[in-house]
Structure 1
Amino acid sequence: MEAKDGSMGFDFTGIYDKIVDKELISYRMSDGRKVDIEFSQSGDEVSVSETFEAEGTNSDEQQRAGWQAILGNFKKYTESN
Structure 2
Amino acid sequence: MAKITVSVIINSSIDKVWNQLNNPKDIEQWNQASADWHCMNASNDLKVGGTLKSTMAAKDGSSSFDYEAIYDTIIPNELIKYHLLDGRMVEISFQETTNQVLVTETFDAENQNSEELQKAGWQAILNSFKKHVENN
Separation in 1, partners of 2:92, 2:117 = 19
Partner secondary structure for residue 2 of structure 1: strand
Distance verdict in 2 for CA 1:71–1:6, change over 3 Å: farther
Separation in 2, partners of 1:47, 1:16 = 21
Q: Which runs of 5+ in 1 are unaligned?
A: none
Aligned mate of 2:117, from 62, 73, 79? 62
Separation in 2, partners of 1:6, 1:47 = 34
**Could you tell me how far 1:4 is from its partner in structure 2?**
4.6
Distance verdict in 2 for CA 1:37–1:63, change over 3 Å: same
> Deviation string for 1:53-72 (max 9, x for gaps)?
00011000000001001101
User: With structure 1 as the length reference, what TM-score do the two structures score?
Assistant: 0.92
Distance verdict in 2 for CA 1:75–1:7, change over 3 Å: farther
**Could you tell me how far 1:8 is from its partner in structure 2?**
3.6
Aligned mate of 1:9, from 30, 52, 64? 64
Q: Tell me if 1:72 matches 2:116.
A: no
By relative contact order (CA 8 Å, sep 6+), the higher-ranking structure is 2
User: With structure 2 as the length reference, what TM-score do the two structures score?
Assistant: 0.56
How well do the aligned residues superpose, as a CA RMSD in angstroms? 1.3
TM alignment of 1:5-44, pairs within 5 A: 5-44=60-99
Separation in 1, partners of 2:118, 2:99 = 30
- Give the structure with the higher percent strand: 2
Separation in 2, partners of 1:8, 1:76 = 24
Separation in 1, partners of 2:70, 2:57 = 20
Size of the alignment, in residue pairs?
A: 81
Q: Which runs of 5+ in 2 are unaligned?
A: 1-55
Amino acid of the residue matched to residue 127 of structure 2? G
